[in-house]
Chain A
Amino acid sequence: MRGTGPTADESRGPSDEELVAYLDGELEGQTRRELEQRLLKDDVARRRLKELQVSFELLGDLPAATVDDQFTRSTLEMAVLNASQTMPTWRHKPIWRVRTLALCAALVALAGLGGWGVTELNQLRIERSQLEDLPAAQYLDQLRAIDDLELVRQLSDDLEWQQQMALAVDVGELQLPDASRWLGLVPAEERLEAVSMFSPQDRATLASQFEMLTRQLPNAERTVIRQRARLLSETPAEQRQDLLRTVLQYGTWINTLVANDQARIRDAKGPQRRAVIDEILERDRGRWIAQYPLSASDKSVVIEWMLGQVRSAISERQGDDAQRDRAALEQFERLLNERNGRARDRASRSPTNFGAFRVFALWMERGMTDAAIAEVRSRLSAEARDKLETMNDLEEQREILRSWVGITLRDRFRTPDASQQLYLQMDSRQQEQLDLLPADEFLAELNNRAQFRGPMGRPPRRPPPP
């Protein structure tokens, strides 16, 4: 056995460097031939060579690295977010709002990347027998997420589930694939032709998922996914479309959840699983409704309603504060009219929005009585009212209305959300300091603070490696 230091044999024989280079095929010509001659005669050199080789080959005993699909997904998500640049957000708000912004960032980024080229499916050299796999590949993410087809069958008949999913689609939380274009509905020999009708993006997605299914998934999982796709395609035609739609809803929805929620659902069995699903849906409903895109007339309703309350609040005030608030209200209304009446050119947008900030702050200070909620509810369109009334609790309705007003103001005045929130967080002295700034400096200063200071910084990044 060998110790840790070089032996006398080593010092007399070929150098370690020569032996290693020989093993690595990096020794050439005369040097190689000389070493080979030496090895034929020299037992010690031969033993050293063998030890070097064996110890090197022991590296083959190291376990193979594995990477799950979550790693790939999160890497790609990070890239998408990276491409979108960082978005200002705030940390003290409920997590759903932060997630909303992250989602927006991802969507913005995806839109920005829309011009990217795509990988064509036909680059994959699909064998005819592999055409059978296209339906499973097409909705791979969803089929991987479905581990209880019976539950999905139940959900497909559940009106409440369907309404929740419709809401999620309405607010852009879920983007469901088109169930009517499923390749499982197309005979195998016509599938490539059907694929050629897909958009380049859809073809690229299909290509990537096909690659994943056929080459990267473990055999056992691939078999299960094929079985699920087959079960779906063998479902009687009259039930198939509903079932497929629910598979896409459920699979897509599950994939939007945070890992902890996914694990809770996965770990729950039987009726308990349904209970967990309902609990998560209940929790998310408020977030989805808060994002509900109001129609133009509903936006006007909520702004007018908010202004009415602010006017009342100001009329009850006296002194310098009241004067300043009245000035802010006047400015706000003037800007509002400009936006309603004129083209939204840059010049009309650029004057400060501080009136809007001040007015919003006043409204938030005033609070929202039950009667005020009833009033706005009666003025909203049936559709928006329906969404609002989905929340039974008045406090939840308050939160939704705050969100609708905030989002409408932000959109109307192109106000970054983080800036709006920062202003609301400031005490009156800080607000006043800002209000006194020249109009063209106001927003710049506020944005600057929102981005670089205070409780609201840039969105949290992945921590750097230690």
Chain B
Amino acid sequence: MLQVRDGDAAAFEQLVRRYQVRLVRLLVHLAPSPDQAEDLAQEVFMRVFRARERYEPGAKFSTWLFTIAGNVAHNAHRSRSRRKEVPEADAPRPGGEKSSGAIESMATEASGLMPARMLDRRERSAMVREAIGQLGDRQRMALLLNRFEGMNYAEIAETMGMSTKAVKSLLARARVHLRNLLAPYIEGDGAALPQASMSSSGELDAV
């Protein structure tokens, strides 16, 4: 980023190539609709480009980038919601109350008629996407940064402009909410219906 700030065109291209997939992956879930993800990602890169001269080394570049991404996504939601009341940022999206049921019915449709059937990846993916969509904006952002960017609480806090303590609480709510939403999809012993992501020799055995 320092090279970009100093006017290195090739460095900006490199930066775009390095972060574009990660950014789009995040914005697919943060944008008002997935098909806006690329447009918003371009908007993020443009903001980075326009602000390049003001970039101060110190924080990780990715932290700065995802902060901008969060703002851009937030603005996109705000623009979309101007005609209606904006839900509280941390609250589940409208329809969230019914979401668990919706996912449950998806799970039933997918597996109920054939209990032994292993759900395929596409079906699982649809359910997970639906569940993420039901989280509040801030919960979703924190969760995605945690899962896909591997950010620790301090980095998420910096990205989202919150205290580490608040992030801890936010992530806990997000994870519990996600678990509840995906409950129909997780067997009683905690394993996912299709292929348990966690083996019996996982972290618990080490405890």
Query: Which B positions have Cβ atoms within 8 angstroms of A?
Result: 3, 6-14, 16-17, 20-22, 24-25, 28, 31-32, 36-43, 45-46, 49-50, 72, 75-76, 79-80, 100, 121, 124-125, 128-129, 132, 143-144, 146-148, 152-153, 168-169, 171-173, 175-176, 178-186, 188-192, 196-198, 202-204, 207
Contacts and interface: CB of A to CB of B under 8 A. Distances in A.
Q: Which 7 A-B pairs have the closest CB atoms?
A: A50-B190, A65-B25, A57-B197, A17-B172, A465-B76, A119-B10, A55-B179
A112 to B, nearest CB: 10
A92 interface: no
A115 B10 CA distance: 12
Contacts, number: 203
Given A2-B183, A17-B172, A67-B24, A59 B38 contact: no
Contacts of B202: 53
Interface string A108-141: 0000010111110000000000000000000000
A47 interface: yes
Q: Please classify the interface of chain B as helix (H, G, I), strand (E, B), loop, or mixed, using the class held by over half of its residues.
A: helix
Interface stretch (A187-195, A205-213, A289-297, A431-439): A205-213
A74 B42 contact: yes
A72 to B, nearest CB: 6
B182 A58 contact: yes
A: interface residue count bin = 35 or more
Q: Which of A23, A40, A60 has the most CB of B within 10 A?
A: A60
A212 B9 contact: no
Given A56-B147, A56-B178, A466 B32 contact: yes
Contacts of A15: 172
A76 interface: yes
Contact of B153 (A24, A72, A115): A24
Q: Which of B10, B50, B207 has the most CB of A within 10 A?
A: B10
Given A54-B191, A465-B40, A16 B12 contact: no
Contacts of A71: 20, 24, 38, 41-42
Contacts of B184: 1
Given A21-B168, A46-B204, A207-B10, A51 B190 contact: yes
A116 B9 contact: yes
A280 interface: no
B174 to A, nearest CB: 8
A199 interface: no
A82 interface: yes
